[in-house]
Amino acid sequence: MTYSRSLRIKQGDIRVAARGNPFSFSTLAVAIAASLAHSALSAQELEHREEHLEEIVVTSTLHRSRADTVLPVNLLAGEELREKLGATLGATLSEQVGVNSANFGPGVGAPVIRGQSANRVQVLQGGIGNIDASSVSPDHANSLEPALATRIEVVRGPATLLYGNGAIGGVVNVIDGRIPTALPSETRAMLETRHNGVSDQQVSVGMLEGAAGNVAWHVDGVYRESNLVEIPGYAQNAAIVDFDDPTALAEYEEGHGVVNNTSSRSNAQSLGGSWIFDEGYFGIAYNRLDNLYGIPEGTHGAHDEAGDGGEEVGISIDMQQERVDVEFELPLTGIFSEVHGRIGLVDYQHVELEGAESGTRYEQDGIEGRVAVHQSELDGHQGVVGLQVSTREFSALGEEAFIPQTDISTLALFTVQSLDIGALLYETGARIERQTFDQIGSCDNTESSVSGSASALWRFREDSNAVVSVSHSQRAATVDERYSNIQSDCSELPLDLLIAHAATQRLEVGLPSAQKERATNIELGLRKHAGELTGELNVFYNSIGDYIYLADTELEHAGVPVARYRQEDATFVGAEAQLSMPVRRSGDHLSELSLFADYVRAELDTSGDVPRIPPLRAGVELKHSHLNWQAKLRWQEVKEQNKIAFGELPSASYSLLTVYADWHVDFGRQETLIFLRGTNLLDEEIREHPSFLKEVSPAAGRSWELGVRVNF
């Protein structure tokens, strides 16, 4: 069914009180009035709005259903994705079991999977790498725009077998419709607007798609703008403030009620088209992203320096990315059934602005391609053989250029094979990858890594299965881990010439002789995927040899501490659980209860705890639906984190209360959706432990978001 409603909307004067500040927005008054005026529907037209999606996991390569994949997967699509949508990828996924967000202010939010992020979590755009600088520094935002996604899949646990060196901790695959894969039956459009009072954030999203003959086309865009984020207390943690220092005390008091320098403005547009064959397609798409966001005060050294007028200089990042993607799927005959490929060409850059002056410029141009040939199924056996190639040119110019210019190339061969015999499904695979760093000088590096896995799924009931999986993954060091403050002859810079990394406020020294990480992951899973009671339980043990991490030392220069990349064996163990069940049915009413929890414990062999590991989380969600509306109440308890690394402070526990409600209004074949979401309703001071900035930039306080989506 296609839903639509055309609205002409002008600037309104509505103000809604939200944490003491006016909540102004442009579209909601007219939309709500129009909806109320046309809300009468006959009894025959009323139905539950539960969206039944075909849960085929694209990221699994073999394209199995979610019930039959051997991988632990989170899947967000349809209205659930729109409900969870945040300003960043990490914020959008933060309520998924096993997934947290490592924010660097509201403009940056990297996904954390089972305690691992950055270089160990591979972020994909339609199955191939998202070529940006987000893994180089925690203050660099990911260049993906979650508001344009139609589906996000998260593979928890090592996936280097499928997607390479950066997937030793997991994969986030963002899927959108910019390259159509089928002809739409009619022209479709969507308009959405939402406003969040805690930062005065306004988001507008539009989409239009249709077909002309055998050509399917797609256009979309998003605009987001926000002001300072409001918080319930002080931005700085009192534990780090020297109250005897008048300057420090003044800075502390300036951060009351808001996190300064957190305004942002971004927009993204996509245009794509495909030639659709009787079987298969060939498509191309173009996307541009512009993102300007502030870095919270107290993080970069420049914040403490006075400008020409004596004022403090704020740091912001001005990011642009242009991307062209080509994708095809064609049928084959004989032992192979189809071939699928995707190639992405990316031109990425961002400039760190110090007030009105340009600072360090990061650039990364690259191309990545992936081709997979699917074998024809024969007596329960099927498989995929693939090739993945990428080449990138990375450079950083300016006073914060602590990583030298480097050309990076990778070449990989992989295969996944499965055998389905009655109640048992077996899956094995292997990947060989070669990574090369090419620099001016004698510090080039070429390294090969090998990964393999074996899994078994037992369908012991029609609605339930159990999974056991063993994998061995290897990860070569990245450019920042190997070359930070390292000269072209592989020696480190003298102490007085080290360049500070302002995001971490450290003089970081790389490890040019770094060995490959070797991760052995053992996982047990139990799932019930059908019936009234559904859920899953996963327990994992991940032993990583030569784990690469940044360790603080006792050295410092000019008051800036020195940190070195080191290697040491580490162990990650944890569990994830979620359970859903109906609690009451009565006529058109349905009430459902969900329970969830996740936990990870990470220790180095001899040096204590791994830094920034999220603490235990557990909670409950109650959902009630009635025909065209639904309401949800979610309570989450996050325990304190006192298992901390050297240089960290413990994080206090907190409770997170969230509500969500929406209402569908039909106009024949058209639909308007009005939705309201409230977050952190207890207005707690929340310092999320995975965040690099938890001591100077807590999470937002009580917030209300109101929005309208129209499909036509």
Tell me: pLDDT of 99 over 50.
yes
Question: Is the model's pTM score more than 0.85?
Answer: yes
Q: Return the pLDDT at 313.
A: 57
Measured CA to CA, the distance from residue 333 to residue 67 in angstroms comes to: 29
Give percent of the chain with pLDDT exceeding 90: 69
Lowest-confidence segment of 336-340, 523-527, 552-556 by average pLDDT: 552-556
pLDDT bucket at 474, cuts 50 / 70 / 90: very high
Which of 64, 79, 146, 138 lies closest to 108, judged by CA?
138
- What CATH class does 28-711 carry? mainly beta
3-state class (DSSP) for residue 455? strand
Residue at 105: amino acid letter? G
642 compared with 441, residue with greater pLDDT? 642
The torsion angles phi and psi of 53, rounded to 5 degrees, stand at -105, 145
pLDDT at 310 over 80: no
Q: Given pLDDT bands bounded at 50, 70 and 90, which one contains residue 160?
A: confident
Strand partners, 604: 570
Q: Of 156-165, 324-333, 477-486, where does the model show the most confidence? A: 324-333
569-601: pLDDT as tens digits: 999 999 999 999 999 998 899 999 999 999 999
Q: In this predicted structure, what is the pLDDT of residue 186?
A: 93
Domain definitions of the chain by residue range: 28-711
The total number of residues written for the chain in this structure: 712
pLDDT at 311: 45
Instruction: Estimate to the nearest angstrom the gap between the alpha carbon of 574 and the chain centroid.
Output: 21
pLDDT at 31: 39
CB within 8 Å of 68: residues ≥ 6 apart: 425, 457, 465
Is the pLDDT score of 14 beyond 80?
A: no
CB 498 within 8 Å of CB 559 = no
**Which of residues 679 and 302 earns the better pLDDT score?**
679
Question: If you write DSSP's letter for every residue of 276-339 in order, what string do you get?
Answer: E-SS-EEEEEEEEEEEEEEPPTTSSGGGGSB-TTSPBPPEEEEEEEEEEEEEEEEE--TTEEEE
The burial of 324, by beta-carbon neighbours within 10 Å (0-12 exposed, 13-18 middle, 19 or more buried), is given as: middle
In eight-state DSSP terms, residue 609 is B
pLDDT value at position 47?
39
Find, among 137, 198, 154, the residue nearest to 58 by Cα. Answer: 154
- Tell me the per-residue pLDDT of 259-278, one tens digit each, with 9 for 90 and over: 999 999 999 999 999 999 99
The alpha helices in 167-298, defined as continuous H runs, are 246-254
- pLDDT confidence bin for 299, thresholds 50/70/90: low
Kindly tell me if the per-residue pLDDT of 8 is higher than 90: no
* Residue 298: predicted pLDDT: 63
C-beta separation of 552 from 506 below 8 A: yes
pLDDT band at 201 (very low <50, low <70, confident <90, very high): very high
What letter represents residue 689's amino acid?
H
Comparing CA positions, the residue from 123, 136, 122 lying closest to residue 479 is 136
Identify which has the larger pLDDT, 669 or 487. 487
pLDDT of residue 302: 37
Check whether 303 has a pLDDT greater than 50: no
pLDDT at 46 over 70: no
What residues are paired with 177 via a beta bridge?
none
SS3 496: helix
In the structure encoding, which two tokens stand for residue 492, read together? 């480190």
A 10 A CB-CB count for 536 gives 18
Which amino acid makes up residue 424? Answer: L
Q: How far apart are CA 60 and CA 74, in angstroms?
A: 12
The dihedral of CA 596, 87, 145, 622: what is its sign? positive
d(CA 598, CA 572): 13
Per-residue confidence (pLDDT) for residue 509, from 0 to 100:
94
Place of tokens 């071939």: 339
The whole-angstrom separation of Cα 319 and Cα 302 is 19
Does the pLDDT at position 525 exceed 80? Answer: yes
Mean pLDDT of the chain, nearest integer: 87
- Given a cut of 50, whether residue 642 has pLDDT beyond it is yes
Lowest mean pLDDT among 278-287, 352-361, 561-570: 352-361
